A and B are shown apart, each in its own frame.
Chain A
């Protein structure tokens, strides 16, 4: 059971918008720590997608965006494309456990 809770799966048709939630607590996200997101394509290592709640590293399309409010955060993907099919993980810092990940969300492009 992960400290950060994500839905196991989401899906959407090409061109649509999907969101992935990440729910924490007052010990991590709610304590003001930043939320980061990673994309893991099948058979590959994770890749940093969003850092500092809503910042995109160079090379990440602006179709990906992040937000944070209270004890939760969200990743939004607009203009869904087949190559977006992957697992997505949120990550933050916890006062007791240090660095923690969400359980991951599998995105299916229909």
Chain B
């Protein structure tokens, strides 16, 4: 059973870059048809897809955040990471890593427990 676990700093200052890492266990990050994703949820609000990456290195971004978001993959550690630059209070949210099944279907079938990121000076 694939499991995902997020890790990150928790508190970030405005204008800085926050980096979060997701560690995948119980399955291969090289599995075909699966994309490794980030989704966030601001306090009291809904879910927002941010980005995903395939084991080939192909990456895709939410157009509204594309200028500030980067995703990377470290297959040797079974990890993928989110980098969000120039953060503001609006980026305060719980950040989830998730596995997306592609093949034209695009659903998130496994989720991490989430990590809180607070942007504050």
Contact = CB atoms under 8 A, between A and B. Distances in A.
Interface residues of B, number: 21
B46 A47 contact: no
Given A36-B107, A38-B108, A45 B47 contact: no
Interface string A73-110: 00000000000000001011100111111111000000
B63 A96 contact: yes
Contacts of B47: 38, 46, 89, 91, 101, 104
B46 A98 contact: no
Nearest to A50: B107
A64 interface: no
Given A45-B96, A46-B47, A104-B47, A51 B63 contact: no
Contacts, number: 59
Range for the number of chain A residues in contact with chain B: 20 to 34
Contact of A52 (B60, B105, B114): B105
Given A46-B96, A96-B63, A98-B60, A91 B46 contact: no
Interface centre among B48, B107, B108 (most CB of A within 10 A): B107
Interface in B27-52: 39, 46-49, 52
B112 interface: yes
Contact of B106 (A45, A46, A99, A104): A99
Interface of B is mostly: strand
A48 interface: yes
Interface in A5-22: none
B49 A101 contact: yes
Contact of B46 (A48, A52, A101): A101
B111 A45 contact: yes
Contacts of A104: 46-47
The 7 closest A-B pairs by CB, nearest first: A36-B107, A104-B46, A99-B49, A45-B111, A101-B47, A51-B107, A103-B46
23 contacts: A33-B106, A38-B47, A44-B113, A45-B113, A45-B114, A46-B47, A46-B96, A47-B111, A48-B107, A48-B109, A51-B101, A52-B105, A57-B109, A89-B46, A91-B107, A91-B108, A96-B63, A97-B62, A98-B49, A99-B52, A100-B49, A101-B48, A104-B46
